[in-house]
Amino acid sequence: MVFDFFFKSISRHIKLTDEEIELTKPVLRHKKLRKRQYLLQAGDVCKVETFVIKGCLRAYTVDDKGHEHIAMFAIEGWWISDFYSLLTGSEASQNIDALEDSEVFCIEKTDLENLYLQVPKFERLFRILLQNAFVAHQQRILAGISQTAEERYKSFIGKYPTIEQRVPQHQIASYLGITPETISRIRKLR
């Protein structure tokens, strides 16, 4: 059942044969996370690429004053990782934890590298995923420097309409780089 969701999700980008699916299944490590449980802590080395089957996760940093700065949310069908740490083997700068009870598939970096050789379509998949992530990152930076708080909030809710019901307001504010009070004011104007 959980495999079905994974393969249906990636079929938007690549079509796998039955043989390729069978080669892929053994590298998918099913993991359950409780709400607030860490998948990765800053300072550890990220060794997995993670696909969300069920639930909601976030990637964030904590500054010297103890304030959280959310870089990413991931819900069903999304991938999450500290890519820099994963690709370089350096310490992670981000924490990743579950905002809800969640289920994920983790793919070890070495297994992923082997999968690229056994099922080359996965290289295409991850190229597409990284391109999409880069575009989203670039758009977020441009929005942060050129849009008002209200425009950023409306754009966020337009792109991710279900997250607003799943993520606390102060975390959405952190993601957008605004205060929770600003979100309250914007919501009153809607």
Give the residue extent of every domain in the chain. Answer: 2-118
pLDDT of residue 171: 94
pLDDT of residue 75: 94
Angle, alpha carbons 91-62-34 (nearest 5°): 80
pLDDT of residue 10: 96
Question: What's the CATH number for 2-118?
Answer: 2.60.120.10
- Give 13's contacts (C-beta < 8 A, 6+ positions apart): 124, 125, 128, 129
| Tokens matching residue 87 | 């690709």
Please tell me the distance from the alpha carbon of residue 183 to that of residue 189, in angstroms, as a whole number: 10
pLDDT of residue 188: 83
- Successive 10-residue mean pLDDT values, the chain, 190 residues: 93 96 97 98 98 97 94 95 96 98 98 96 95 92 92 90 90 93 86
Pairing status of strand 79-80 against strand 29-33: unpaired
pTM over cut 0.85: yes
3-state secondary structure of 95: strand
pLDDT of residue 164: 86
* Angle between the N-to-C axes of helices 169-176 and 149-159, in degrees from 0 to 180, rounded to the nearest 10: 110
pLDDT of residue 1: 75
Pairing status of strand 56-62 against strand 68-75: antiparallel
DSSP H helix total and E strand total for the chain: 9, 8
